[in-house]
Amino acid sequence: MTNEALQNLTSSWVPELEFTEEKSQFLNITVQPEQLHSLMTQLKSNSETNFDYLFCLTGMDWGAALGVVYHLESTTHRHQIVVKVKTEDRENPTFDTVCNIWYTAEFHEREVFDFFGIKFNNHPNLKRLFLTEDWDGFPLRKDYVDEINMIIK
């Protein structure tokens, strides 16, 4: 399926989607947080898209907004897509989990929670993955201040 066909199909499901022209071979979609789970469910279950492989889930800090970028592939149709979701709520950034759609997302979402503080609704085991439970802050956020390295300098 071409990027144009993917864009037409997905926008028929969720008219509010935003499509960006990036220097990428993949179609880039931005979805509102409240529509994330339904879009992702449709992307996997629809026979025309069949995005059965979540090959990357990355937390992002865009300065004003925190978010997640998902890279999906259909191993049947051999097409790929990028889905982005953002929130300007830096105090309580929250999105729905997709680990009930792609099981591999469970650990990726824990990593994003650990380093960015983004919470995932309905995640079965959302807790720190790499850092200790008493770690203060989220080190991959742009506003994170590393007190220990500040003292050493």
CATH (domain of 54): 3.30.460.80
Q: How far apart are CA 79 and CA 73, in angstroms?
A: 6
Residue listed under structure tokens 């990726």? 108
Domain extent, residue 63, equals: 3-152
Q: How far apart are CA 125 and CA 137, in angstroms?
A: 19
Specify the range with the lowest mean pLDDT, choosing from 18-22, 24-28, 36-40, 100-104: 18-22
Per-residue confidence (pLDDT) for residue 148, from 0 to 100 = 63
Residue 149 has pLDDT above 70, yes or no: no
Q: Which residue has the higher pLDDT, 25 or 125?
A: 125
Q: pTM of this prediction? A: 0.93
Domain count of the chain?
A: 1
Q: Which of 8-22, 41-55, 132-146 has the highest mean predicted lDDT (pLDDT)? A: 41-55
Element containing residue 83 per DSSP (H, E)? strand 80-87
Average pLDDT on 121-138 reads 95
Residue 151 has pLDDT above 90, yes or no: no
Residue 98 has pLDDT above 90, yes or no: yes
Helix (H, G, I), strand (E, B) or coil at 8: helix
Amino acid at 1: M
Per-residue confidence (pLDDT) for residue 146, from 0 to 100 = 80
For the stretch 48-96, pLDDT in tens is 999 999 999 999 999 999 999 999 999 999 999 999 999 999 999 999 9
| Residue 143's pLDDT band (cuts 50, 70, 90) | very high
Average pLDDT on 28-43 reads 98
For the stretch 87-95, contacts whose Cβ atoms lie closer than 8 Å and that sit 24 or more positions apart, written own/partner, are: 87/33, 88/64, 90/66, 90/143, 92/119, 93/66, 93/67, 93/117, 93/118, 93/119, 94/33, 94/118, 94/119, 94/120, 94/121, 95/33, 95/36, 95/68, 95/119, 95/120, 95/121
Average pLDDT on 98-121 reads 98
